[in-house]
Chains A and B, each alone.
Chain A
Amino acid sequence: MTAVHLGMPALPTAPRGVGHLRGDESFPAAARSALRDGQLRANLGHATTTIRDKRARVVDELPDWAELREAGRALKAATMARLDDHLEELERQVTARGGTVHWARDANEANEIVTRLVQATGASEVVKVKSMATQEIGLNEALEAVGLDVFETDLAELIVQLGEDKPSHILVPAIHKNRAEIREIFARTIPGVDPGLTDDPRQLAMAARAHLRERFLRARVAVSGANFGIADTGTLAVVESEGNGRMCLTLPETLITVMGIEKVVPTWQDLEVFLQLLPRSSTGERMNPYTSTWAGVTPGDGPQEFHLVLLDNGRTAVLADEVGREALHCIRCSACLNVCPVYERAGGHSYGSVYPGPIGAILSPQLTGVEDNASLPYASSLCGACYDVCPVAIDIPKILVHLRAEHVEAQQRVTPEAAAFRALSTAMSRPWLWHLTQRASRLGRLIARGRPTLPNALPPPISGWTRSRDLPTPPTSTFVESWTREHGR
């Protein structure tokens, strides 16, 4: 029996034409250009190696890491099994504490809701806390389209915004830029910046700080994401390093939080597990500098108006896939990116989505429907390093392989590749035919003309191999053949 639910209509995926889940090119094409960028490879290699080592050190010092990880996995699995109940509880608790909950089926609905809420305040600009969900739905573009000014306040996100660039990493969106490049962006775009600005990290941080401080103080509306939404207390939580989030979450009068529905956790106590797993996995710190939590509104303290926008945008469809749904357990730590040999070389932009790396390769195709991101599940050598470091033990290689099959099975026509694999399957399941096929491979000996390797110039798809690697000339006899000849049956 296959996992097709008869009679159940396909659940909606993230709509096209809005947000940043789809690239313009396939992964191999985008990676080809990225690989030519020596600076990018140097920056990424340096940054990922550093953070990888830091993570390994702080994870190794915990004797119960394996148990913590299993607890995280189990909590997420149990939460997903009753996601609807937890979300309704979250809504009740947030409402009871003076917040307003909005349900957004997709990116368009979420953008409309947030735009309407901002416009209702009469403000002309918003400050933002770094958030993957709002990147995913393209909220900045939606707000700018109605004439609102949007200011990213996370340092790396600010670099990306000022450089009119795209984020390339979940945690460090400007990981592809080095100090010299950042100095150039600041010198060019920050009004009134000291012309003598150097690429000293402290100087750069101070320049950003002066630029942002002014915006924090005059901001009336802030937009954030959330790392966790705690159902039993109606609390939202944001985990960060710089303190800019704390400013956004406390200074403005109105706070709007956009949260993917999978970010709900049932109880306050669950944070005990996740707040140990997350900082160690993401920044390689024992504890992150700032953890902000808030529930509804508190008279006279912090924002007096609070809106929570719960975003689906394809997540229910992911939940319906019994293999793929584990992707919703992700706590966006980015450890899988930092260890991924493919990410390290191809860079985040090659994935065409705000979610790059191994998690992106399994999440983006599920949110959009696999045919809209069909090259991503193949953007992995299945080395398994991501699964090893994932703090909630998402079996990413298994989901990649599953999505490859979903792609293959979605084809209406028989592709040349499918024809080849079917023929090979027929041969490999019938010993006599397999032996014939092996013998046919010996035709390669003709073109090798006595050399130990085949010529470099072979037609596609073999050229994909021979462009950089030699192929051995097939031997005169297979092992099974010669063994059988020597030993009889």
Chain B
Amino acid sequence: MRVALFATCLVDTLTPSVARATATLLERLGHEVVVPRDQACCGQMHVNTGYRREAVPIIANHVRAFAGAEAIVAPSGSCVASIHHQQADVARRAGEHRLADDATELAGRTYELSQFLVDVLGITDVGAYYPHRVTYHPTCHSLRLLRVGDRPLQLLRAVRGLELVELPGAEQCCGFGGTFAVKNADTSTAMLTDKMANVLGTHAEVCTAGDASCLMHIGGGLSRLRAGTRTVHLAEILASTEDAVTPDQQTKPAVTA
């Protein structure tokens, strides 16, 4: 299949290794990956902060950049949820009905990584090797908006060498919440503190998730504590094999997600 990769603005700018891993994984599974150069952002941050009017041109750019793609995959539950649940509404409210229709149509072909692997490609064993003790945080938008369920866990359980440990209080929000992390920094930090306590209680080397944004928040907190446990995106774990363990996984600190 020819898969268009939507890196998402945050991953592309701050943690490109996550997008790289997604591409590596999809190619290893025998698919052709294209990366539309004009992609930028899905508009979620604008919409969720109250700038829905300003989000319209961003959505228009996204729809233009991915027009004609057969399938679009993004390593982010949150951005895919915004594409599915917000883009068309925001466009329609602004009177952009053509754009709304196009966005709806595009959303139908847009998948979060674990959904794409399990539901579209029908695989849970992607042939990965990752010899580490790992715990999984199900991010809120993957869990409650996209309902990815246990798909990421199915994928992780099939990874050779990986020891999966259950995260207590897993379904509690980590406190990221986009601009919430800054506008309500104290409450966000209180939520993060409890999440980190649960992560550290598992004695996992790695905390993984399907959203680089939440991982940047959790990882940023762990790195500040010099905790030792680091955050690694699900795509990076699934992309690893015996002969292609990326140097990132060994050397970089938690914060690089």
Q: Which residues of A contact B (CB under 8 A)?
A: 1-3, 27-28, 31-32, 35, 41, 341-342, 345-346, 377-385, 387-388, 401, 404-409, 417-418, 421-422, 424-431, 434, 438, 441, 452-453, 456, 461-462, 464-465, 467-472, 474-475, 477-480, 482-484, 487, 489
Report whether A383 and B14 are in contact in the complex, using a CB–CB cutoff of 8 Å: no
- Given A1-B95, A429-B61, A464-B181: A31 in contact with B187 (beta carbons within 8 A): yes
Report whether A470 and B220 are in contact in the complex, using a CB–CB cutoff of 8 Å: yes
Report whether A428 and B41 are in contact in the complex, using a CB–CB cutoff of 8 Å: yes
CA distance A459 to B214 in the complex (A): 22
Per-residue CB proximity of B229-257 to A under 8 Å, as 1/0?
00000000000000000000000110111
Report whether A469 and B224 are in contact in the complex, using a CB–CB cutoff of 8 Å: yes
Closest approach, in angstroms, between the C-beta of B187 and any C-beta of chain A? 5
Instruction: Check if B160 is an interface residue, CB within 8 A of chain A.
Output: no
- Please indicate the chain B residues that have their CB under 8 angstroms from the CB of A408 in the complex: 49-51
- Please indicate the chain A residues that have their CB under 8 angstroms from the CB of B118 in the complex: none
Report whether A452 and B256 are in contact in the complex, using a CB–CB cutoff of 8 Å: yes
The number of inter-chain residue pairs (CB within 8 angstroms) is: 214
Instruction: Check if B58 is an interface residue, CB within 8 A of chain A.
Output: yes
- Please indicate the chain B residues that have their CB under 8 angstroms from the CB of A383 in the complex: 140, 144, 173, 177
Could you list 8 A-B pairs, sorted by A, with CB under 8 Å?
A: A380-B177, A380-B180, A407-B50, A429-B57, A429-B58, A464-B182, A468-B224, A479-B35
Report whether A346 and B93 are in contact in the complex, using a CB–CB cutoff of 8 Å: no
| Cβ-closest 4 pairs across A and B | A381-B177, A469-B220, A404-B50, A429-B57
- Given A346-B187, A431-B61, A464-B185: A469 in contact with B217 (beta carbons within 8 A): yes
8 A Cβ contacts from B182-232 to A = 182-192, 216-217, 219-221, 223-224
Our pick among B7, B180, B224 for the contact of A382 (Cβ within 8 Å) is: B180
CA distance A466 to B87 in the complex (A): 30
Closest approach, in angstroms, between the C-beta of A116 and any C-beta of chain B? 43
Closest approach, in angstroms, between the C-beta of B79 and any C-beta of chain A? 13
- Please indicate the chain A residues that have their CB under 8 angstroms from the CB of B60 in the complex: 429
CA distance A468 to B181 in the complex (A): 10
Report whether B191 and A381 are in contact in the complex, using a CB–CB cutoff of 8 Å: yes
CA distance A246 to B52 in the complex (A): 49
Report whether B221 and A382 are in contact in the complex, using a CB–CB cutoff of 8 Å: no
Report whether B48 and A379 are in contact in the complex, using a CB–CB cutoff of 8 Å: no
Report whether A478 and B55 are in contact in the complex, using a CB–CB cutoff of 8 Å: no
- Please indicate the chain A residues that have their CB under 8 angstroms from the CB of B15 in the complex: 472, 475
CA distance A487 to B183 in the complex (A): 40
- Given A27-B184, A483-B23: A468 in contact with B256 (beta carbons within 8 A): no
Report whether A35 and B38 are in contact in the complex, using a CB–CB cutoff of 8 Å: no
Per-residue CB proximity of B149-174 to A under 8 Å, as 1/0?
00000000000000000000001110
Report whether B61 and A428 are in contact in the complex, using a CB–CB cutoff of 8 Å: yes
Report whether B144 and A388 are in contact in the complex, using a CB–CB cutoff of 8 Å: yes
Closest approach, in angstroms, between the C-beta of A421 and any C-beta of chain B? 5
